[in-house]
Amino acid sequence: MKEEIKKFIREEICLSEVDFNDDDSLYELNVLNSLGVMRLILFLQEKYDFYVDQSNLRFEDFETLSGIHNYIQQRRSLQDV
């Protein structure tokens, strides 16, 4: 899952050749901005079949690749209940 997300970010959002690891801040590296986060959310909702409730949306959840992965796991587990 992380590799698919990383590939999407690199190919569809990131305009530079910045290399980043799972725990690097995507904001500090200028890989993601608010528009990029919104594009990423749309991709994630479609790809992993879950809904992001905007009232619970925190940009901190999308700061790192690990954070994004954890967020998806949490959202999907909440929908299974």
The string of pLDDT tens digits covering residues 10-32 is 999 986 788 999 999 999 999 99
Q: Which pTM was predicted?
A: 0.86
Domain ranges in the chain are 2-80
Q: What is the model's pLDDT at position 76?
A: 81
18-53 CB burial, b ≥16 within 10 A, e <16: eebeeebebbeeebbeeebbeebbebbeeeeebebe
Name the CATH topology of 2-80.
1.10.1200
Q: For residue 13, give the amino acid letter.
A: I
